Chain A
Amino acid sequence: MNNTRSILSETTGDVERSPSPGQVATVLTGLAIGILLMGIQLWLLTIALDLYLGGQDTYIWLLAVISGLVFLGGLLVLRVLTRRPRSQTRPRR
């Protein structure tokens, strides 16, 4: 009995710390938007290639700028979301 309790206390309880409320949802939202924007970037890449091969490369740089902005936005989101929340340490007894 005592043994079982001690095992349970090892696997549950104060050892485990859940993510703060809304954190998972935030990461998932960032991920969903990021994947959507990545699709747009892929589309921009195909347009750039199409324009280049068609010899109409006057405005290709604009596509690269938009793609770069999306990438910078992604970096920013990554930076914000991967910041670890301050651990709520309880004083040890």
Chain B
Amino acid sequence: MKSENGISRKGRGVLGRRPRTRWQAEFPYHWDGDEQVSRRELLRFAVMASGTLFAATAGIVILSYLNPLRTVRRQAIASTSEVPRNGAHYFQYPTAEDEAVLLHLPEGRFVAYSSKCTHLSCAVYYDSQRQLLVCPCHEGVFDPRTGAPLAGPPQRSLPSITLSQEGTMVFAEQEMPQ
């Protein structure tokens, strides 16, 4: 009797009615219903686990904003006034052995590429009259806007370098993990 309320409430939920006999009051579950409850419990658990996984992913996102594990390596290339429109500036990036070229396109945009030809690594130069990047070794030609090969043996684009501008200075940027 003392547990009448609790049991009968549960019993109503599972059996759909008040228990009539003593054993129903003590164990108010249908055996199929018991199985069904456990499946639902498992489903509830799965959803909770799903929420936990979401929370963990969101936590990583928050962590990546609060404490980014990367450093941006910047290297000053040249001042904008040093490179006239339709002109080029040659520099070394990311190491002193890697040749690169900064282009000031006729439309005013700055782009930079590694100046190693993707065919046999000859140094590529900017032909301002033809407005093309040219490899003198095997007459490979690249598009200065995209770095894509246009003619000759090269099949792959020139690797592009990410640029940023601060005031009049142009920087090459590279994100690196810590």
Contact = CB atoms under 8 A, between A and B. Distances in A.
B47 A53 contact: no
Contacts of B49: 38
Q: What range describes how many residues of B lie at the interface? A: 35 or more
Contact of A67 (B23, B39, B42, B53): B53
Interface string A23-57: 11001101100110110011011001101111111
Contacts of A30: 43
B20 A45 contact: no
The B interface, classified by DSSP as helix, strand, loop or mixed, is helix
Interface of A: 10, 15-19, 23-24, 27-28, 30-31, 34-35, 37-38, 41-42, 44-45, 48-49, 51-57, 60-61, 63-64, 67-68, 70-71, 74-75, 77-78, 81-82, 84, 87-89
Interface in B11-60: 13, 15-17, 20-21, 23-24, 30-33, 35-36, 39-40, 42-44, 46-47, 49-51, 53-54, 56-58, 60
Given A18-B32, A28-B39, A30-B43, A87 B57 contact: no
